[in-house]
Structure 1
Amino acid sequence: MDAHAPPRSPASDGGHGDGDGDTKKPHVLVVPYPAQGHMLPLLDLVALLAARGLALAVAVTPGNVPLLAPLLASCPPSSVATVTLPFPAASASGLLPAGCGENTKDLPGHLFRPFMASLAALRAPLLAWCKAQRRRRRRVTAVVSDMFTGWTQPLAAELGVPHVTFSASGAHYLAVSHSLWRRLPRRRCPDEAVSFQDVPGSPTFRWSHLSWLYRTYVAGDEVSEAIRQFFLWNLESSCFVANSFTAIEAAYVDRPLPDLMEKKVFAVGPLSDAVGRCTDRGGKPAVAPARVAAWLDAFDDGSVLYVCFGTQQALSPAQAASLAGALGRSAAPFVWAARGGTPVPGGFEAATAARGMVIRGWAPQVEILRHRAVGWFLTHCGWNSVLEAVAAGVAMLAWPMSADQFTNAWLLAEAGVAVAVAEGADAVPDAGQMADAIASAIGNGGASVRQRAAELGRSTAAAVAEGGSSSVDLEELVSILSSPKLTN
């Protein structure tokens, strides 16, 4: 089957050709986690590996096949194939309701954990596909999978091939999250501190700032134990790959868990920059990038605040009112991407029309951040947004809300490129205090942070350039995946 043709169910042919050369070529199986923030950077990595001569097969369920279209169109012919597996909604575990979505963007929050656990049911059909390829002399020589799909490690072990864990977040989060699942610190009150003595720098976080994926763990619960096992399996991987770069978190790239993870962490990011992608791929923007750019052209360099909290975080009416009040009082020019049904207060847009733009829906975020007029980004600190801001040399006002965002905000503060303004998904910050923080940042009070952000932005460009740290790590990863030791 041609790699660009519609795949068959339950599993499609790898589609790399029939020549003897192809049978001797390393074939890498890639298993993404079906969430936009996880899947897109891993597909960027696939594109980079394909461009360097590797043959790859990406395993997805039918509902996620359309996300592969841009990848297949941009890669060398027959270098990337699709393996389509039936979605396990009707699995024996019965963890998910029939007809639920196949990507987290289509799921309510309470189904995220059972969704993650249910995907382990893909192991059997995926193993059958791998064995079929072996019979056709196209055997899989390595498995690269998302850190949320740790169930692929025993699959790789059964095949006798290396397993590589991919982190869509940074190496710091990789270390903190795996430390949690290994040590299982006890449940605590929200404000009690949890120390990570096994992580470089021994950071401390409040219990409420730890990943909800861990905080909802219940010993003996089927879903909880399955998720824990995925993370423990990750620790048996041959190496790790992070969508990050050395300049922002060198200590965690070098030795993320000194007493356990003595394995190489390849920091190959930001992957979107490494592939040369300077535009968003998440959907059709609600406002054309050219229109936003033309509006921004009227403002001085670094004078505009961009506000966005990702694709899945809708502000409550009280939060939206507080933010609107802060933007109104600060007098700073702004672009507010009010996604996810965030209720913008009535009359706000008219009152701030001379210096503000509200975008309802998907905003061209990459283009906005790279405009010379944008100097600050009020963000939830999701890692993809963080990398886009860092690459653009834009300083951040941090309002972490969940998942890895608290540890990301801590890392940004340590790097000197972010200032905290609020924390928590339910927090309603004081409008006056936030207005003061915005005004100070846009004014001279934020000059040193902006300078550090600009320096880090230059480091980002250097990292992905030829000879840079991320480029060198990528080439070493390619060498390992291409090694004859993996194909004998």
Structure 2
Amino acid sequence: MDDASPRSRASSGSHGNEKPRVLVVPYPAQGHMLPLLDLVALLAARGLALTVAVTPGNIPLLAPLLASCPPSSVATVTLPFPSSASELLPAGCGENTKDLPGHLFRPFMAALAALREPLLAWCKAQRHRVTAVVSDMFTGWTQPLAAELSVPHVTFSSSGAHYLAVSHSLWRCLPRRRCLDDADEVVSFPDVPGSPSFPWHHLSWLFRMYAAGDEVSDAIRQFFLWNLESSCFVANSFMAIEAAYVERPLPDLMEKKVFAVGPLSDAVGRCTDRGGKPAVAPASMAAWLDAFGDGSVLYVSFGTQQALSPEQAALLADALARSSVPFVWAARSGTAVPEGFEAATAPRGVVIRGWAPQVEILRHRAVGWFLTHCGWNSVLEAVASGVAMLTWPMSADQFTNAWLLAETGVAVAVAEGADAMPDAGQMAKAIASAIGNGGTSARERAVELGRRTAAAVAEGGSSYRDLEELVRILAQ
């Protein structure tokens, strides 16, 4: 086998091809890969054999999965990162979005489509055939691969069913602005349940940058159109928060089933983060939180890819100082926390630089609210913990996620936009009100939603039943 050929590996040795397998194709971004790998673990635990396709730089992310799954149930096929990517990407740019600057995300997404032919060749060379293809919604180029193999194709959304519906409606209908200078121009979605409307600048940046005739733009649109030809869809969500979008998710495609099988981290029993070694030990953080009353602490985090500017960090620090509320601020590495802030707030505040044990923090009884950018994984972790949210969406699916949370009644908006500079005094009042009596009703709804989340993934719950039905389809 030469270096340009895909390499196969079973999780426990040489038995990776003993029975027909489901091919799984993740999108190499941690927020996409980790939920899909949780799904793989659940499918493997129910007797399916699966092969996960990755490039060499993403193999480390599979290590926990391979270590925890039943022997020989999960194999990998390692595909060389496409050499043709050099036409769209600079050399040595990395194989996962965590290694990329934002302006390379779109060409990176398009470049991965070059993996289709070597992956198809690998499938055809296997002694035991691939019986289905499950792929991320950003890798829609796998749908014609599945069609050539005459097997079902399943599109996986690491986000919710609402975002699945809105994003695919965008790419299908291609709405355009009447006034190119008006970022607030409203775009309506009459074909999506509830007929939501969003200002132009809240739409996915992948779509807003679309230009007909541009190679990258047209490739990305085609990926989403191919998704619409899938046999069914799987969303990392659950009925209690998204029933309308699960039951009638996509325009003109009511016959296409959406399986809501989340929150996947809860379904798989993963109660800890998988982002690396935390900057503070969970036990130390729990001991600090133990000193505070139930629901009295605010947790603050904007994820691993959303950086606050120095001005925004100063504004947030000012708001936290004025609020007089106990807090834990997980500040992304490089965040310019103002000098003297930590000393001034030390009795009631902690700043964590680097990776925080977010799941453990959110599940502590003292944490009642979460100031968040509304990334879907963070949203699900908060919902599963029964924690209400103060929302500051900045990009991608975060605006539609914030809208959904407001509709559900478990969130209050404090800002929006990656460049927003909200008033520190107003933010401080919103924080103080949330932790105080003003946030009681939202917190009560969040606690109840947390109970319903646990019920969804428990045996007999809605997510459990959808997972069992998905297994039956994939096992045929």
Question: Shorter-chain TM-score category?
Answer: over 0.9
Q: Indicate which of 275, 280, 286 corresponds to 1:287.
A: 280
Q: Indicate which of 7, 10, 23 corresponds to 1:12.
A: 7
Q: What is aligned with 1:236?
A: 229
Unaligned runs of 5+ in 1: 1-6, 484-488
Q: What is aligned with 2:75?
A: 81
Q: Indicate which of 468, 475, 485 corresponds to 2:468.
A: 475
The one-letter code sitting in structure 1 at the alignment partner of 2:46 is R
1:373 is aligned to 2:397: no
What is the aligned-residue identity percentage? 85
Deviations 1:210-268 (A, max 9, x none): 01010000110000000000000000000000000000010000011242353000000
Following superposition, the deviation at residue 340 of structure 1 comes to 3.6
What is the alpha-carbon distance in structure 1 between the residues aligned to residue 136 and residue 85 of structure 2? 24
The one-letter code sitting in structure 2 at the alignment partner of 1:31 is V
Q: Indicate which of 336, 351, 362 corresponds to 1:343.
A: 336
What is the alpha-carbon distance in structure 1 between the residues aligned to residue 37 and residue 344 of structure 2? 43
What is the alpha-carbon distance in structure 1 between the residues aligned to residue 49 and residue 253 of structure 2? 32
What is the alpha-carbon distance in structure 1 between the residues aligned to residue 344 and residue 89 of structure 2? 46
What is the alpha-carbon distance in structure 1 between the residues aligned to residue 251 and residue 206 of structure 2? 24
Q: Secondary structure at the match of 1:400?
A: coil
Following superposition, the deviation at residue 317 of structure 1 comes to 1.0
Q: What is aligned with 1:162?
A: 152
Q: Secondary structure at the match of 2:70?
A: coil
What is the alpha-carbon distance in structure 2 between the residues aligned to residue 40 and residue 305 of structure 1? 26
Taking the TM superposition and a 5 Å limit, the aligned residue runs for 1:145-224 are 145-187=135-177, 188=180, 189-224=182-217
What is the alpha-carbon distance in structure 1 between the residues aligned to residue 273 and residue 418 of structure 2? 25
TM-score, with normalisation over the residues of structure 1?
A: 0.94
Q: What is aligned with 2:307?
A: 314
TM-score, with normalisation over the residues of structure 2?
A: 0.97
What is the alpha-carbon distance in structure 2 between the residues aligned to residue 479 and residue 276 of structure 1? 22
What is the alpha-carbon distance in structure 2 between the residues aligned to residue 98 and residue 8 of structure 1? 18
Distance 1:288 1:368, change over 3 A: same
Contact in 2 for aligned 1:313/1:340 (Cα 8 Å):
no
State the Cα RMSD in Å.
1.7
The one-letter code sitting in structure 1 at the alignment partner of 2:139 is T
Following superposition, the deviation at residue 314 of structure 1 comes to 1.2
Which shows bigger deviation, 188-197 or 470-479? 188-197
Unaligned runs of 5+ in 2: none
Q: What is aligned with 2:295?
A: 302
Q: What is aligned with 2:38?
A: 44
Q: Secondary structure at the match of 1:419?
A: strand
What is the alpha-carbon distance in structure 1 between the residues aligned to residue 85 and residue 436 of structure 2? 59
What is the alpha-carbon distance in structure 1 between the residues aligned to residue 384 and residue 241 of structure 2? 11
1:56 is aligned to 2:46: no
What is the alpha-carbon distance in structure 2 between the residues aligned to residue 92 and residue 253 of structure 1? 36
Taking the TM superposition and a 5 Å limit, the aligned residue runs for 1:245-256 are 245-256=238-249
Contact in 2 for aligned 1:32/1:149 (Cα 8 Å):
yes
Distance 1:211 1:382, change over 3 A: same
Q: Secondary structure at the match of 1:312?
A: coil
What is the alpha-carbon distance in structure 2 between the residues aligned to residue 261 and residue 164 of structure 1? 15
The one-letter code sitting in structure 2 at the alignment partner of 1:145 is S
Q: What is aligned with 1:70?
A: 64
1:100 is aligned to 2:93: yes
Q: Secondary structure at the match of 2:7?
A: coil
Contact in 2 for aligned 1:375/1:394 (Cα 8 Å):
yes
What is the alpha-carbon distance in structure 2 between the residues aligned to residue 340 and residue 382 of structure 1? 18
Q: Secondary structure at the match of 1:91?
A: helix
Q: What is aligned with 1:486?
A: none
What is the alpha-carbon distance in structure 2 between the residues aligned to residue 61 and residue 301 of structure 1? 45
Report how many aligned residue pairs link the two structures.
472
